[in-house]
Chains A and B, each alone.
Chain A
Amino acid sequence: MGAYIVRRLWQMVPTMAGVIVMVFILFNWVGGDPATILAGKMSSAEQIANIRHQLGIDQPYYVQLWIFLKQIVSFDFGASWSTGESVAHILTTRIGPSLMVMLPMTILETLIAIALALGIAFLRGSLADRAVMVACTAGMSISILVYMIVFQYWFAFKWGWFPVQGWGDSVGENLFRYAPLPILIGLAVSVAPTLRLFRTFVLDEVGQDYVRTARAKGVSERRLVWVHVLRNAAIPIITYVMANLPGLLIGVFLLENFFSVPGIGREVIQAVDRSDFPVVKAATVYVAALTMIFNLLADLLYKAADPRVQLQ
Chain B
Amino acid sequence: MIVSTLPQSPGLWLLAWRRLRADRLAMFSLAVVAAFLMLISLSATGLIAADWDREVGVNYAPPSFAGPDAQSTANDAAKDDTAVPENPLDPLNDVLRELRAQRGDAAASAPEDYGIVDPIGPEINQLRAQLAKEGRGTAAVRATTLPFGADKWGHDIVKKTIKGSETSIVVGLVAAFLATLIGTLLGAFAGYFGRVVDDILNWVYSVFTAVPNLLLIMAVAAVLQHKGVATIVLILALTGWTGTFRLVRAEYIKHKSREYVMAADAIGASHWRRMFVHIFPNVSHVALVQMSILSVGFIKYEVILSFLGFGVPVGVVSWGSMLNEARNELILGRWWQLTAASIAMAVLVTAFSLFTDALRDALDPKLK
Report A's interface with B, CB cutoff 8 A.
Answer: 14-16, 18-19, 22-23, 26-27, 30-32, 137-138, 140-146, 149-150, 153, 157, 246-247, 249-251, 253-254, 257, 268-269, 271-273, 275, 277, 280, 283-284, 287-288, 291-292
A18-B207, A291-B210 given; 5 more Cβ-contact pairs under 8 Å: A150-B330, A246-B212, A253-B214, A253-B218, A273-B308
Secondary structure class of chain B's binding surface, majority of residues: helix
**Whole-angstrom distance between the alpha carbons of A273 and B225 in the complex?**
10
Question: Closest CB-CB distance, A23 to chain B, in whole Å?
Answer: 7
Question: Closest CB-CB distance, A73 to chain B, in whole Å?
Answer: 18
Report B's interface with A, CB cutoff 8 A.
Answer: 203-204, 206-208, 210-216, 218-225, 300, 303-304, 307-310, 319-320, 323, 326-327, 330-331, 338, 342, 345-347, 349-350, 353-354
Question: Closest CB-CB distance, B177 to chain A, in whole Å?
Answer: 22
Chain A residues near B353 (CB-CB < 8 A): 137, 140-141
**Whole-angstrom distance between the alpha carbons of A200 and B225 in the complex?**
43
Chain A residues near B309 (CB-CB < 8 A): 273
Question: B350 to A275, Cβ gap below 8 A?
Answer: no
Chain B residues near A247 (CB-CB < 8 A): 212-214
Question: B304 to A280, Cβ gap below 8 A?
Answer: no
Question: B308 to A30, Cβ gap below 8 A?
Answer: no
Known: A14-B203, A31-B223, A257-B308. A143 touches B215 (CB 8 A): no
Question: Closest CB-CB distance, B134 to chain A, in whole Å?
Answer: 36
**Whole-angstrom distance between the alpha carbons of A251 and B342 in the complex?**
21
Question: A143 to B207, Cβ gap below 8 A?
Answer: no
Question: A141 to B222, Cβ gap below 8 A?
Answer: no
Question: A250 to B338, Cβ gap below 8 A?
Answer: no
Question: B218 to A268, Cβ gap below 8 A?
Answer: yes
Known: A18-B206, A247-B214, A251-B214. A143 touches B338 (CB 8 A): no
Secondary structure class of chain A's binding surface, majority of residues: helix
Question: B210 to A292, Cβ gap below 8 A?
Answer: yes
**Which of B214, B221, B304 has the most chain A CB atoms closer than 10 A to its own CB?**
B214
Chain A residues near B219 (CB-CB < 8 A): 23, 26-27, 272, 280, 284
Nearest B-chain residue to A144, judged by Cβ:
B304
**Whole-angstrom distance between the alpha carbons of A288 and B210 in the complex?**
5
Question: A30 to B338, Cβ gap below 8 A?
Answer: no
Chain B residues near A153 (CB-CB < 8 A): 330-331
**Which of A149, A153, A254, A280 has the most chain B CB atoms closer than 10 A to its own CB?**
A149
Question: A15 to B207, Cβ gap below 8 A?
Answer: yes
Question: A30 to B323, Cβ gap below 8 A?
Answer: no
Question: B215 to A250, Cβ gap below 8 A?
Answer: yes
Known: A32-B225, A145-B303, A257-B308. A18 touches B211 (CB 8 A): no
Question: B349 to A141, Cβ gap below 8 A?
Answer: yes
Question: B342 to A143, Cβ gap below 8 A?
Answer: yes
8 A–B pairs (Cβ distance < 8 Å), ordered by A: A26-B223, A32-B225, A146-B342, A153-B330, A247-B212, A254-B308, A257-B308, A275-B222
Known: A268-B215, A287-B211. A280 touches B222 (CB 8 A): yes
Nearest A-chain residue to B204, judged by Cβ:
A18
**Whole-angstrom distance between the alpha carbons of A254 and B215 in the complex?**
12
Nearest B-chain residue to A31, judged by Cβ:
B223
Q: A149's contact among B319, B330, B350, by CB below 8 Å, is which?
A: B330
**Whole-angstrom distance between the alpha carbons of A31 and B215 in the complex?**
16
Chain B residues near A145 (CB-CB < 8 A): 303-304, 307, 320, 323
Chain B residues near A16 (CB-CB < 8 A): 210
